[in-house]
Amino acid sequence: MESIKHLTGYAETPGKSNSYWYMGALLTFFATGKETDGQFALFEGTVRKDYEVPPHTHSREDESFYIIEGELQCTVGDKTFNGKAGDFIFLPRNVQHSWKTLSKPARFLVWINPAGCENAFLDLSEPAPVMELPPDEPVSEELMQRAVALDNEYGIVYAFQTQQ
C-alpha cells in the first residue's frame, strides 16, 4: 500500500493574493494540488450571464459545481440540469459536459478530484487587480487556441476536436 504524504492544515481567505482573471471570469483558488498533495482542487468562479463553456470531456478528473448565487445550466451526457443557488451538480470524468450561466452574475464552487487541471486555468490567468469581474471583452482566437492546447495536455478534449 502506498503511503500518503502527511499534509498540514491551512486556511485560505478570498483576496487578491489567490484570485485571477481567466477569460472573462474571476477565479479564487482555495486549494490546488500543491496544497492537497494532488488530492483535489477547489476554487470559486464568478461569471457574467451567458458565459459558456463548450462541450468537452475530462479523462483524468471528476468535476463538481456547488452554486452559491445565480443559475447554471449544465449538460452532462444526454441530461440537462438547471441549477440555482444551493444546488450541486456532478460532472463525472469520461462523460462529455458543457455549461453556461443563465443569470447575472453566477457564483459557484468548483471541486476537481483529483487535482491537476486547475493548473490550466492558472497558467492562462492574470492576477486579479480587484475582486471583481474583468472587463467584458471578447477572448482572442490566439488565447482560445492556447487554452484548448493546454487543456489537451491535461486530458481535456473538446467535442469540436473529435468532430474534425
pLDDT tens, residue by residue, 4-63:
455 677 778 888 889 999 999 999 999 999 999 999 999 999 999 999 999 999 999 999
Comparing 1-5, 123-127, 148-152, which segment has the lowest mean pLDDT? 1-5
Please give the pLDDT value at position 3. 41
| Of 26, 43, 47, 46, nearest in space to 34 by CA | 43
Is residue 108 a contact partner of residue 44, using CB atoms and an 8 Å limit? yes
- Residues 67-77 as b or e (16 or more Cβ within 10 Å = b): beebbbebebe
pTM, entire model = 0.90
Asked if pLDDT for residue 94 goes beyond 60, the answer is yes
Q: What is the pLDDT of residues 95-129, one digit of tens each?
A: 999 999 999 899 999 999 999 999 999 999 999 99
**d(C-alpha 104, C-alpha 147), whole Å:** 24
- What residue spans define the domains of the chain? 16-162
Q: What is the pLDDT of residue 6?
A: 57
CATH superfamily of the 16-162 domain: Jelly Rolls (2.60.120.10)
Q: Which residues contact 3 (CB under 8 A, 6 or more apart)?
A: none
Instruction: Say if residues 156 and 100 touch (Cβ distance below 8 Å).
Output: no
CA–CA gap between residue 153 and residue 8 (Å, rounded):
29
pLDDT of residue 2: 45
Alpha carbon distance 26, 133 (integer Å) = 5
- Rounded Cα–Cα distance for residues 8 and 90 (Å): 28
**Which residues are CB-contacts of 1 (< 8 A; sequence separation ≥ 6)?**
none
Q: Which residues contact 164 (CB under 8 A, 6 or more apart)?
A: none
Cell 498533495 sits on residue: 37
pLDDT at 13: 81
Rounded Cα gap, residues 47 and 135, in angstroms: 11
